[in-house]
Amino acid sequence: MLYVVSYDIPDTKRRTKLAKALEDFGDRVQYSVFECILDGNLLDKMVDRIHKIVSLGDDNVRVYTLCANCERAIKVIGQGKVTKSEDVYIV
């Protein structure tokens, strides 16, 4: 499933820490936006890491789930492309 994670974190140290954590789960598509292709287990791990980093009173993190139909309707205007799942075969 494709998830879009966006955040608004005023503290530079927490913002940097969160961005580095999100790099483990997806691709940065804008300064404060990541696209992540995750199964349920990885989603739980990502959300758990987010909770360990953010300040609930100061920060705002949003995780949007995009269904297959929504994913097909994404339009990119300008640079970049939508993160795609790639089939991987290990022989």
pTM of the shown model: 0.83
Per-residue pLDDT tens digits for 1-39: 999 999 999 999 999 999 999 999 999 999 999 999 999
The C-alpha atoms of residue 5 and residue 50 are separated, in whole angstroms, by 10
Domain residue limits at 22: 2-72
- Residue 27's domain is classified under what CATH number? 3.30.70.240
Residue 52 lies in a domain: yes
Residue 82 lies in a domain: no
Beta-ladder partners of 33: 6, 30
pLDDT surpassing 70 at residue 74? yes
Residue 19 lies in a domain: yes
Residue 20 lies in a domain: yes
Q: What is the dihedral of CA 80, 8, 71, 39, to 10 degrees?
A: 110
Counting the structural domains of the chain, the total is: 1
Residue 78 lies in a domain: no
Q: Write down the pLDDT at residue 90.
A: 44
More confident residue, 70 or 4: 4
Residue 67 lies in a domain: yes
Residue 11 lies in a domain: yes
